[in-house]
Structure 1
Amino acid sequence: MALRIAKAELPDELKQGMIDQLGAVMEPAEVLWHNPKVAQDGLGLGRLVAQWDAADESLKSFAHMAVAAQVGCSWCLDVGYFQAQNENLDLKKASQVPRWRESEVFTPLERDVMEYAEAMTNTPPTVTDELYAGLLDRVGPAAMVELTTYIAFVNFSTRGNTAHGISSQGFSEACEIPLEARA
């Protein structure tokens, strides 16, 4: 997929911060910088979302990658897998998220979270009362609200990136276990 809009020039300080954190400048920021207010607010919201701590990080990571795989956001899947490695999450499991239904490495809770993420991502959403109640019983109200809002934020990001034509920057190539393709 090719970018549908040229990259804008980022301020040097912002570029350096991204290079320090990820080793590269994030292409979504370069695209969004055509409207600095939108870019700054989006980056700020992402930083706030990253501070939420009621839901398990592995569950959020798997949900993020499940949404990215379903929407087809190779950039989000790529950076999500890279972040899983940097957060010391289970890379064997993370590598299997694109084909989670065929994989045997996930717990029932992890499977339900990815099913929930995909159900939220469907248009229209296909979340059932049974799926929601089952997750709520296991993770509790605070984590359920966080997980739901997190998945909604990931949908916002993945769909915007895909519409702009943003694709993988190769972050996951630094990971020791290759990322599986969606089945």
Structure 2
Amino acid sequence: MPRIPALAPQDAGPVVKLGYRMARKQLGEVPEPFAVMAHHRKLFVLAARHELALQKAMHVVPQHLVELAVYRTAWTVGCSWCVDFGAMLQRMDGLDIDRLKEIGEFETSDKFTEDEREVIRLADAMTATPMTVTDEQVASLVEKYGHDGVLELTYQISHENQRARMNHALGITDQGFSSGDQCRVPWLTDEPASQAV
């Protein structure tokens, strides 16, 4: 149970209800962080717009590398919701999510390429406190993806640090997205899930 309960659809205003419908249509269920954030309508709208704009802005670094760096960040922070959601995104992209079981041994596992190891190392260096990013790391990534590519990676990793730390602090845990099973509804209701929003 999250430390702040999800806002039930019957308690939401029209903007939040619309956001819930869109999320359910796209993902099959309303993400719990989204439903918790709905208590603050302005932050809810800001976060939704930011996530949509971020998706559209990403175009330089191959998506699977970005998703892997974001997944590793969530795994390192310990946000089970973000790990669950990140695994779902990779599954939906047709990637092998079984290899994620070896993310802790990425340096020695034959399931990861050198390009993947490099972005995982960047995620680790950015997520460490204090950060341990080196000039050599950035220079190597600039050589492969250019300045805009490194900006994409560092932006996504830093944004995932924010999401994962917020979810973890609020007690938001995995929702069942990665398994493809029915996700739990993030609020208590007697209504069937299809009628909740």
Task: Give the TM-score normalised by structure 2.
Answer: 0.82
The 1:85–1:143 alpha-carbon spacing in structure 2 relative to 1, beyond 3 Å, is same
**Structure 2 counterpart of 1:26:** 31
Please give the per-residue CA displacement for 1:2-44, whole angstroms capped at 9, x wherever unaligned: 4111212343322221111111111001111111101110111
Aligned length: 174
Please give the per-residue CA displacement for 1:150-177, whole angstroms capped at 9, x wherever unaligned: 11111111111111111100111129xx
Between 1:95-104 and 1:39-48, the stretch displaced more is: 95-104
**Equivalent residues in 2 for 1:78-89 (5 A)?**
78-89=84-95
**In structure 2, what is the Cα distance between the partners aligned to 1:120 and 1:162?**
18
Q: Which amino acid aligns with 2:135?
A: D
**In structure 1, what is the Cα distance between the partners aligned to 2:140 and 2:70?**
20
The runs of 5 or more residues in structure 2 that have no matched partner are 10-15, 182-197
1:9 lines up with 2:4 in the alignment: no
Do 1:81 and 1:95's aligned partners in 2 also have CA atoms closer than 8 Å? no
Q: CA deviation at 1:58?
A: 0.7
2:110 to 94, 104, 114: 104
- Larger Rg, first or second structure (1 or 2): 2
Identity %: 33
**In structure 1, what is the Cα distance between the partners aligned to 2:114 and 2:94?**
21
**In structure 2, what is the Cα distance between the partners aligned to 1:106 and 1:87?**
17
**Structure 1 counterpart of 2:159:** 153
The 1:92–1:139 alpha-carbon spacing in structure 2 relative to 1, beyond 3 Å, is farther
Do 1:65 and 1:98's aligned partners in 2 also have CA atoms closer than 8 Å? no
Between 1:156-165 and 1:127-136, the stretch displaced more is: 127-136
**Equivalent residues in 2 for 1:49-68 (5 A)?**
49-51=54-56, 52-68=58-74
**Structure 2 counterpart of 1:135:** 141
The runs of 5 or more residues in structure 1 that have no matched partner are 176-183
Q: Which amino acid aligns with 1:8?
A: L
Do 2:60 and 2:145's aligned partners in 1 also have CA atoms closer than 8 Å? no
Do 2:70 and 2:160's aligned partners in 1 also have CA atoms closer than 8 Å? yes
Please give the per-residue CA displacement for 1:111-142, whole angstroms capped at 9, x wherever unaligned: 01001011101111111112221222122221
Q: Which amino acid aligns with 1:163?
A: A
Do 1:62 and 1:97's aligned partners in 2 also have CA atoms closer than 8 Å? no
Q: CA deviation at 1:103?
A: 2.1
**In structure 1, what is the Cα distance between the partners aligned to 2:146 and 2:80?**
31
Task: Give the TM-score normalised by structure 1.
Answer: 0.87
